Amino acid sequence: MSEGAPSERAEPVRPDTPRHVAIIMDGNGRWAAARGLPRGEGHRRGVEALRRVVRASHELGIAYLTIFSFSSENWSRPASEIGDLFGLLRRFIRNDLASLHRDGVRVRVIGEREGLDADIRNLLAEAEDLTRANTKLTLVVAFNYGSRQEIARAARRLAVEVSEGRRTADSINENSLAQYLDAPDIPDPDLIIRTSGEQRLSNFLMWQAAYSELVFVPIHWPDFDRAALEGAIAEYARRERRFGGLAAKTAS
């Protein structure tokens, strides 16, 4: 726990509200294609959906919202689309940072920063620095993020400690590895939502998702709104989380 959890934050509106919701914002391209629009327009409308969902998460008392904004694998897209996505991130931070800060949102970033342009790295650092002490909602932006890469980075740091004689190989367990993931102080997601009807994790939070409930929503991300979020939370509330144990009724 490097920075500690914020002490005061909005109470969940309902007791079965997940503390941490993570979202794979999928379907921007298909949304645009269905309307004869360029893919970039789908991403632009995706940012509008993101604003709606940040506001709704805040209102519903969700403490942590993680969004998959750019994956390590998205580099294989055409340069023009990569340019669109980076432009949107720049604009999102420049235009929305002040209002996120006013609303008490704390921004955190996970993913590999090395290799990103210096101006993007600076913007990400500025967003984290400005909002560090905020306590209402933590918005975790997964940018240039891939779960396998994150786990490999953690393994590399442990290997260095072993090679330098600062720990033994025997001392490595799931807790020591988890401490070297990108945001060790953030609790695992309770609910992971993927839009667009695809049903896979695509290298997103695979370590942290061990006991997450997965909800797949058959609408494209630009159409996602508060009602859709509440629908996914209602589905989550119907699930029985056992974490490898027994159902409550059979346990006693």
Q: Which residue has the tokens 């006991």?
A: 211
Stretch that binds ligand FPP, among 19-27, 99-107, 116-124, 148-156 (CB under 6 A): 19-27
CB of 210 to ligand FPP, least distance (A): 24
**Smaller CB distance to ligand FPP: residue 26 or 213?**
26
Q: What share of the chain is helix, strand, coil (3-state, %, to 5)?
A: 45, 15, 40
Give the range of 42-50, 115-123, 130-138, 162-170 binding ligand FPP by CB under 6 A.
42-50
The correct pick among 50, 60, 109, 191 for binding ligand FPP (CB under 6 A) is: 50
Given a contact cutoff of 8 angstroms between Cβ atoms, the answer to whether 141 and 69 are in contact is: yes
For position 26 contacting ligand FPP by CB under 6 A, the verdict is: yes
Alpha carbons 86 and 28: distance in angstroms, whole number: 15
* Smaller CB separation from ligand FPP, 19 or 52: 52
Query: If binding is defined by CB under 6 A, does position 74 make contact with ligand FPP?
Result: yes
User: What distance lies between CA 173 and its chain's CA centroid?
Assistant: 25
- Let me know if 217 is exposed, middle or buried by CB neighbors in 10 A (0-12, 13-18, 19+): buried
Catalytic residue, chosen from 74, 103, 203, 223, is 74
20 vs 29: CA distance, rounded Å = 27
Our finding on whether 28 is near ligand FPP (CB under 6 A) is: yes
Binding positions for ligand FPP, 82-101, rule CB under 6 A: 85, 88-89, 92
225 labelled catalytic: no
CA atoms of 142 and 136, how far apart (whole Å): 19
Return residues touching ligand FPP (CB under 6 A): 25-30, 43, 46-47, 50, 69, 74, 85, 88-89, 92, 196, 221
